[in-house]
Chain A
Amino acid sequence: MHPVIRTILQRLGLGLITLFVVSLILFSSIEFLPGDFGQAVLGQAALPETVAAFRRELGLDLPLHERYLDWLGGMLTGDMGNSFSGRGSSGGSDRSRPVIELLAPRLANTLFLASMAAIISVPLALFLGITAALYRNSIYDRSVNALTLTTISMPEFFVAYLLILGLSSFTKVFPSLANISPDADFWERAYLTALPALTLTLVIVAHMMRMTRAAIINLMASPYIEMADLKGASKSEIILRHALPNAWAPIVTVIAFNLAYLVVGVVVVEVVFVYPGVGQLMVDAVTTRDVPVVQGCAMIFAATYILLNLFADIISIITNPRLLHPR
């Protein structure tokens, strides 16, 4: 088998194993709740029959492996169980909603926010990185570097509140709350999401820009670049035509890695701007210990993160000429 295909299959296998372990951990989270689980959810006043009925509904009376397979099957087919909140403590009045119903609209919102941040930040980071490498050690390079180093070490919520203070409280350019309604049209959504997207952009641009700059500067020391220089090629020609093609692999890797990082950044930013996304749902669920919702959100986050990292791995493998044409 071609070594590239073998490596890719290995990575795919590792990704699947990771997802499997994550699902095991998530599944066992119900087991770890202290005391009797049904009692804890339904409250002290619940009748013994209600608790027993609830346990049966969750399948807590079945053996462990059966429950796991059942749960995993549900996860894969989109049936993530019902949320604990809204469950009546005295049977009958059951107003709890399926997790998937809570998740689906919020997932669309989160993806919208993340892709908006990605659309702004990726070209910006590439532009800043390439120009910083082009005018290396100039004042421009130094100030871009210092600025990105500062934004990289700030907590996300600090960046967010600084933006709110500057662009919302004083100048009223953008609204500080991004509570978009389901029937808002695209431009209204984009307008409301501007500040959260800008926050995420500031958080991830730094890393991508620094990696782009480092990847190009790293190549600038190699002999073939010196050859191009001696040949009389201009500086921008050297960077764009000679250095950049070889620098793509590390740059694409770091871009995919940062898009995966958006998954994490999105949690804090959504809470700051009261944005109706998966991150906020998850934080609320963690505070109320609404385990099925936590499981659903975590599964989505983990799967996205693992997939994007896998994607980055594969791209860096197939763009690497040394791996494609082994001697």
Chain B
Amino acid sequence: MTDQDKNTVEESTGLGDEGYSAAAEVGLIKARRTFSENVWRGLKSAPPSALFGLVVIALYIFFAIFAPWLAPHGEAEIFPMSYAPWSDEFIFGTDQLGRDVLSRLIYGARNTVGIAFITTLLAFIIGGGLGITAAINNNGWLDNLLSRSVDVLMAIPSLIFALILLSMFGANTLNLILIIAVLDSTRVFRIARAVSLNVVVMDYVEAARLRGEKMFWILYREILPNIMPPLVAEFGLRFCFVFLTIAALSFLGVGIQPPTADWGSMVRENAGLIQFAEYDLTAALTPMLPAAAIALLTVAVNFVVDWFLHKSSGLKD
């Protein structure tokens, strides 16, 4: 990241050229500040909501990476007592098969968030790549073909579309990732195409073309660095959508399949416990925990994206 940042700064200010230019000197000073210093300066000016979001996201990543060491029991380990109450051994009790809820919550961070992340990444690779390609090929046959097919795909709600496709190909994790990634890449395509349309008309892109650069170079080195900020913000928002869609599908029983620990299906499996709220509040809270975990992460990501958008657009309210 650091090296890449420096490169782009050098390129855009023409630092490599001989002779003095004011822009080069300004660029030099900016380049001298290291990446970690920049991050620190950014963090100091962040509003409390964004800091809260960052801390929550960091915690989720921590739990996802170290799940096997943090969880007191195994992901699919079954104990003789099902629906055990909250106790010292099973902090949040056990579920309908006698699996430890806390352990499944911790493994869920790895599975649910991990799958959502991979799906979003895939959606960005497909949608972003095609979107920029369409912008380079502005109003050519490829652009028209892609844009029209995206229009059609977007005319149907993605949850309904996902349900149709899942009934066609069968519900398993790989299909889930591919289907959601393709459906969501349409939204990414729109954004990527719209923002890169402003960039492809720039002189330096024209220069690269005249230089005889290949399509991939133009896409990756000339356009991508210049549309990064809106794409990064979009990544956060898309991640939320994908995360909620996967959670909803798993909740409906057609998403991530058992015995994989997953928050959406955990809510569904233990939902019946809510009826016992007046006798044992902790039992009623058991199905709420994974749902709250989902909600907390989306709220946190939204906070961070809000701050990032505010910062990168220079918007003042």
Interface residues of A (CB under 8 A from B): 14-15, 17-18, 21-22, 25-26, 29, 32-34, 149-150, 152-158, 161-162, 164-165, 169-170, 176, 260-261, 263-264, 267-268, 271-272, 282-283, 285-287, 289, 291, 294, 298, 301-302, 305-306, 309
Minimal beta-carbon separation of A304 from chain B (angstroms): 10
Which residue of chain A has its CB nearest to the CB of B288?
A161
CB pair A32 B169 closer than 8 Å: yes
Given A153-B295, A176-B274, A264-B159, 4 other A-B residues pairs in contact with their CB atoms under 8 A = A155-B294, A165-B277, A286-B254, A294-B163
How far is B275's CA from A271's CA once the two chains are assembled, in angstroms?
16
How far is B151's CA from A15's CA once the two chains are assembled, in angstroms?
10
14 contacts between A and B (CB under 8 A): A17-B152, A18-B152, A32-B169, A150-B299, A153-B299, A155-B248, A156-B248, A157-B267, A161-B287, A165-B274, A165-B284, A286-B163, A286-B171, A294-B164
Which residue of chain A has its CB nearest to the CB of B287?
A161
CB pair A29 B240 closer than 8 Å: no
Knowing A21-B152, A305-B155 touch, does A294 contact B277 (C-beta < 8 A)?
no
Minimal beta-carbon separation of A148 from chain B (angstroms): 12
Kindly list chain A residues whose C-beta atoms are within 8 Å of the C-beta of B201. Answer: none
CB pair B274 A169 closer than 8 Å: yes
How far is B264's CA from A149's CA once the two chains are assembled, in angstroms?
21
Kindly list chain A residues whose C-beta atoms are within 8 Å of the C-beta of B271. Answer: 161, 272
Interface residues as binary, B242-278 with A (CB distance below 8 Å gives 1, 0 otherwise)? 0010011001111000000000100100010011111
Kindly list chain A residues whose C-beta atoms are within 8 Å of the C-beta of B156. Answer: 18, 22, 301-302, 305-306
User: Number of contacting residues on B, CB 8 A?
Assistant: 43
Kindly list chain A residues whose C-beta atoms are within 8 Å of the C-beta of B264. Answer: 155
CB pair A283 B254 closer than 8 Å: yes
CB pair B253 A287 closer than 8 Å: yes
How far is B276's CA from A161's CA once the two chains are assembled, in angstroms?
13
Minimal beta-carbon separation of A321 from chain B (angstroms): 26
Partner of A157, one of B169, B251, B275, B298: B251
How far is B299's CA from A152's CA once the two chains are assembled, in angstroms?
9
Minimal beta-carbon separation of B129 from chain A (angstroms): 23
How far is B152's CA from A15's CA once the two chains are assembled, in angstroms?
9
Minimal beta-carbon separation of A320 from chain B (angstroms): 21
Knowing A161-B271, A301-B157 touch, does A26 contact B164 (C-beta < 8 A)?
yes
CB pair A264 B160 closer than 8 Å: yes
CB pair A294 B274 closer than 8 Å: no
Minimal beta-carbon separation of B80 from chain A (angstroms): 28
Partner of A285, one of B152, B167, B276, B291: B167
CB pair B274 A305 closer than 8 Å: no
Q: Identify which of residues 281-317 in chain B touch chain A, using a CB-to-CB cut-off of 8 Å.
A: 284, 287-288, 291-292, 294-295, 298-299, 301-302
CB pair B274 A161 closer than 8 Å: yes
CB pair B252 A29 closer than 8 Å: no
Kindly list chain B residues whose C-beta atoms are within 8 Å of the C-beta of A283. Answer: 163, 252-254
Minimal beta-carbon separation of B60 from chain A (angstroms): 15
Which residue of chain A has its CB nearest to the CB of B306?
A149
Minimal beta-carbon separation of A47 from chain B (angstroms): 26
Minimal beta-carbon separation of A131 from chain B (angstroms): 19
CB pair B248 A158 closer than 8 Å: no
CB pair B292 A158 closer than 8 Å: yes
Partner of A29, one of B157, B167, B248, B274: B167
How far is B244's CA from A261's CA once the two chains are assembled, in angstroms?
15
> Is B22 interfacial (CB 8 A cutoff)?
no
Minimal beta-carbon separation of B178 from chain A (angstroms): 14
Kindly list chain B residues whose C-beta atoms are within 8 Å of the C-beta of A34. Answer: 170
> Is B231 interfacial (CB 8 A cutoff)?
no
> Is B166 interfacial (CB 8 A cutoff)?
yes
